[in-house]
Each structure stands twice: as structure tokens, then as C-alpha cells.
Amino acid sequence: MKALICEAYGPIDTLVVKDIPSPLPGPKQLLIEVRAAAVNFPDALMVQGLYQVKPPLPFTPGAEIAGVVKAVGAEVKHFKAGDRVIALTSTGGFAEECLAEAHRVMPLPAGMDFEAGAALVLTYCTSLHALKDCGHLKPNETLVVLGAAGGVGISAIEIGKAMGARVIAAASSDDKLELCKKVGADETVNYSTENLKDRINELTGGKGADVVYDPVGGPYTEPAVRALAWRGRLLIIGFAAGEIPKIPLNLALLKERSLIGVYWGDSTKHDPAGHLANLQQLNDWFAAGVIRPVVSESFPLAAAKEAIAKIANRQVKGKIVVLPNN
């Protein structure tokens, strides 16, 4: 089978597609024919050796897939060959076939295609966990989403609206903000051309935002914290801008603001029941048409490294996917 291979940590351009033997599932594993594999920001960091997880070399990147079960290990009871599934894999997704641990596999919801299935779990689970479990977002509160047209950003807009908040989307271009409006943002801020703090204050009548969802970091975090209301909450999701900001803590003291870290992956181990409940909520919202993963582009396996470069270069709207078996 063909797979994208990272032979050494380094530039994305050094990734290669190769023929490698099909993997065999262990007792608690499934072998899945990959129909779609989503591209996520950590894929770009991982192949460059810049992510907190460094898989042993060589490895195939790709953390979330949707596809059809080809074979199951001896101890796998709830899935069989032919089932349509979604799986979180951490690595291995950009390949014609991929192994997944049974406890990280779920059925593809009825009515969902493989592209949307691959694009659902990581981003939407992160945003639901962040906004509900960490940020305690309440109806009628104001939520500001930074990097709002990116993968986690779009999901935060949709979930924020589903939870009854007023959502202000902030991004770097009018083109990206147009997509944010389309998925439900009430207001927008173009932080390339407008002052982020002033614009949030203007849009909230001087009160400030109740919750800021921040997957970007860099120069955007501090002005967003300064625009948080009394007892406002900053949700720290990631640092796509490449720089981890340092925030003066008097900004927290002065308005009893909270700076809250969000680590969805580990939260599922600490609270597996909560994670299952969140997955069920997402299924219900999908069935009701409340959330719809935005897949803006798809790539064949031969162009997977171009897809990874695109996310590293700030060029993706919503999610993009690789279709290894097309």
C-alpha cells in the first residue's frame, strides 16, 4: 500500500510517498481502508520535529481518518469488516490503509460522508470541551474566536452559536471572515487591518468579551485579554502563530479574569465519560443540522505534502482532507 513517509524530521517538502507493506491489526486494533484523512496543524509541526509528540522515525503522519474497516483483531467485538468508521490515529492517516486502536474508533454517523467524518472529531471535540467544560460559556455571553476561519476556529463559531452565545469572529482577511459569517458569526474583526482590542470593546459597548477562544497566540493574545470583561475567560487552545505569548498577570487580577489551558487529547483520558457525552452531543447536533464540518479542499495522496504545507502557511479555510484511495 502507498503511504506518505516522514524519514527524518525537517522541511515538509522532504516527505515522500512510498509503497510499504500493509500493516496487520493487533488483538485490540482495526485495519481501516482510509477514504479521507484530515489535515491538522499538529501534522505540520510533527513532521518538522516541532510538536510535543515525536514519533519514532520513519513514520506516516495523519491523526484522524474516516474509512471502511478491512480487518479486526481477535479481541475487537464491536466492529467488523465493511463498517464505515471514524478513527483518531495520532499518526498513520495519510496512507491507503491505517491501523487504529478499537477504543479510538466510532461509527460514521448516518448521513455523514467520509470527508466530513474525517474533519469532525479533533476540531469539534476540542471546541466543545473548551467552551463547555473549560470556559463554561453561557447563553447570551459574548464569545470572541481568534483564527476563526481555521479548523478549530470554525467549529468554535458553530458550537458557540449552538450554545446560545453571541459570536465575534476574528481573522486575518475579509475572505476568511466571509466564511465565518456564513457559518454563523454575528460580527467580525479583521485583525490585520483593525485594532483587535478596540474593535472588541466597540462591539461590546465597552463591556468586553466574556470568553476568548485562542488557537493562535503570538501578538493576538494580549490585546484579546485586555478586551475581556469582568470575570472574562481566556481559553488557551494553541499557538499557530508560532510564538507563545507572555501575559502580564495584573491583567488577570484587575478584572478577575481567568486564563484557562485546554488540552482536549489528555482530557479524554481524565474524563472518558465526559468525552463520550460530548461525542453524543456532536452527533445530535450533526443530525439536527446545527454543525456542518467545512471541508474546503481535497488532495490525492501524491499531493499530501502540499496539503500539509498549506496549513503551515496559513492558507487553509475550515478543513482540508487527503483522499488516499481516489
Q: What letter does residue 147 receive in the DSSP assignment?
A: T
Whether the CB-CB separation of 295 and 183 falls below 8 Å is answered with no
| Tally of CB atoms within 10 A around 70 | 15
Ramachandran angles phi, psi of 270, nearest 5°:
-75, -30
SS3 234: strand
Nearer to ligand NAP, 31 or 154 (CB): 154
316 is a site residue for ligand NAP (CB under 6 A): yes
Nearer to ligand NAP, 84 or 319 (CB): 319
176 is a site residue for ligand NAP (CB under 6 A): yes
232 is a site residue for ligand NAP (CB under 6 A): no
Nearer to ligand NAP, 102 or 171 (CB): 171
278 is a site residue for ligand NAP (CB under 6 A): no
152 is a site residue for ligand NAP (CB under 6 A): yes
From 11-19, 79-87, 231-239, 287-295, span contacting ligand NAP (CB under 6 A):
231-239
Cis ω before 58 (30° cut-off from 0):
yes
* Beta-strand pair 105-107/84-88: antiparallel
235 is a site residue for ligand NAP (CB under 6 A): no
In angstroms, what is the minimal distance from the CB of 155 to ligand NAP?
A: 8
In angstroms, what is the minimal distance from the CB of 130 to ligand NAP?
A: 7
In the range 85-114, which residues lie near ligand NAP by CB under 6 A? none
Among 98, 149, 279, 321, binds ligand NAP (CB under 6 A): 149
User: In this chain, which residue has its C-beta nearest to ligand NAP?
Assistant: 150
262 is a site residue for ligand NAP (CB under 6 A): yes
Cα Rg, the chain, nearest whole Å: 20
Q: Which residues on adjacent β-strands are paired with residue 71? A: 31
Nearer to ligand NAP, 52 or 250 (CB): 52
CA–CA gap between residue 254 and residue 260 (Å, rounded): 16
241 is a site residue for ligand NAP (CB under 6 A): yes
Whether the CB-CB separation of 145 and 157 falls below 8 Å is answered with yes
Q: Could you tell me where the DSSP H helices lie in the chain? A: 41-47, 114-118, 121-128, 151-162, 174-182, 196-203, 221-226, 250-254, 264-270, 272-287, 304-312
Number of shown-chain residues binding ligand NAP (CB under 6 A): 29
Binding site for ligand NAP (CB under 6 A): 40-42, 122, 126, 147, 149-153, 171-172, 176, 215-216, 237-242, 262-265, 311, 314, 316
